[in-house]
Structure 1
């Protein structure tokens, strides 16, 4: 797969995520954050499972055999995903959709920072200003002066460290295993099982709550988890983590578009300019490395 095709998949994933913020707030049926997270990820895992089994058989027979290190890496990715999703979901239930979408974008500049400090990975110079501009653009798009921190915002902020770590781990595991669908399903199942076990003990959900929240679980599980997270894993096999984070940040733009189309929300000129900053940042990180200015000069 060419990098441009991988980036298209990442953009589609961002589009799906952008439309799911409202559902994650109003479609839980009263379920707690941990239980809702577990349920939606199990639904997503079930949707992708048949394709993952087929890919596992093909890769295991013809390309490489899976070893214990692969499985432990995928399990670790699932644990990080569960932590990120649970913290974010808890925050969404105690703040506004606008704030949660804006604050989640903090993971964008964190990805190259963690990659540099922990993994010693260098990135193209365009990634640094593009990451900062994505965050600034998200702030403007979210309303700028209207964004005030609420109690749930701290939980969303905490989730961004794990979202950034998850983006990096997904790229590593997808490249190592050559089986992105297998990586996707393993992390979904780990996240789902942890969510239902911990949620059952801590939140004590009822059958009525599952009944009231079934449509939200199915919508977010099939689309946001099953489709979008799988597209992320597939796309990140061919796109660097820092670049992927910037592309995925466009979910904020798609959230605003969805609000305008389906909820009748309108954006001011200032907010539209924030969306323009995000899109410009994505174009910069894609096009600058291909330009003469972005290519390293040969040694004389």
Structure 2
């Protein structure tokens, strides 16, 4: 009897531990992904001083694809239906070549803090694309979130004080485009994570990211020749961007949504500008003006409103797989 009771207590404790792990796994994955991307803005700012944007972007995707490819082959999670490839291609074009390409350009021209903050408006923008593509209702809370985030982005961008020829003007516009395309990428990805694993979706999106970025890589390589860096730190930064910020972070972001609903999960994206801004200020000496703090407050308010209406449905791991 004592042995049986011990087994029951052990099994009950183990089951409870598993439930607790599942409860925290989603937030942990999303927080880790957002924090990694926040740090990426600082790393990419340094690396972009030595390597042109599109060349670095293609290197990033190729490195990530190598890691994801080995991982997908090992777990046998690379097979998809031929009819689904067009949507994976669209996800790769919008989320990888489009959004990340604009992020790199914008960060190079505007700075790490500005880059991480403006693109943090994406969670509120997700509501708009969810209404358009997924036919979700755009209620008062979501509309208010979109308005607050939009105003916050305009204040942070400070476009009124810049001329059209200013590098920061072009950089901020690129970052706004990155926020829009990231929101669209997130909604499109959710269409496929219902039927495929996070690893499968990430692998194929990355694959098409390599394909669609290749022409830009060739164009920039021919028109903007550069010297391959000899600094060990630059190469460590390149590997960080490819392995950690792309292969790992994208997987963690998709994995997190297997345990957390969209409204709640999008809120964790705001960890990115917090990390990016602090690292940009302390490591690169970037100054944070009143526009930054006011815009950050409004964007945070928009994202908070977008998460007020939480979905009652939770996507379990079995359903997502």
Same-fold status (TM-score > 0.5)? yes
Q: Distance in 2 between matches of 1:214 and 1:106?
A: 31
The answer to whether residue 270 in structure 2 is matched with residue 249 in structure 1 is: yes
What residue number does 1:109 align with? Answer: 124
Measured on the aligned residues, the alpha-carbon RMSD in Å equals: 3.6
Residue in structure 1 matched with residue 57 of structure 2 by the alignment: 37
1:76 to 90, 102, 105: 90
1:173 is the counterpart of 2:188 = no
Distance 1:91 1:276 in 2: 21
Aligned to 1:50: 70
Contact 1:24–1:216 (8 Å) recurs in 2: yes
2:111 corresponds to: 96
Match of 2:135 among 89, 95, 120: 120
**1:176 is paired with a residue of what secondary structure?**
coil
Structure 1: how far apart are the matches of 2:124 and 2:33? 19
Offset of residue 159 of structure 1: 2.2
Residue equivalent to 2:42: 22
The verdict on how the C-alpha distance between 1:257 and 1:95 changes in structure 2, with shifts beyond 3 A counting, is closer
What's the counterpart of residue 241 of structure 2? 220
Cα distance, 1:209 vs structure 2: 3.2
The Cα shift of 1:89 comes to 1.2
267-276 or 190-199: bigger deviation: 267-276
> Residues 158-211 of structure 1: CA distance to partner in whole angstroms, max 9, x if unpaired?
22221111111122222221x111211222222134324431234426572365
Which of these residues, 147, 171, 174, is aligned with residue 155 of structure 1?
174
Cα distance in 1, alignment partners of residues 88 and 285 from structure 2: 41
Mark the runs of 5 or more structure 1 residues left unpaired by the alignment.
292-300
Does the 8 A contact of 1:41 with 1:221 survive in 2? yes
How many residues align? The count is 283
Q: Report if the CA contact (8 A) 2:97-2:213 is conserved.
A: yes
Higher Cα radius of gyration: 2
The TM-score, its normalising length taken from structure 1, stands at: 0.76
1:106 match: secondary structure: helix
Gaps of 5+ in 2: 1-20, 163-167, 313-321
Q: 1:3 to 1:274 in 2, by over 3 A?
A: farther
1:28–1:217 contact (8 Å) kept in structure 2: no
Alignment partners' CA distance in 1, 2:280 and 2:194: 36
Kindly report which structure 2 residues correspond to 1:181-200, keeping only aligned pairs within 5 A, or say none: 181-200=199-218
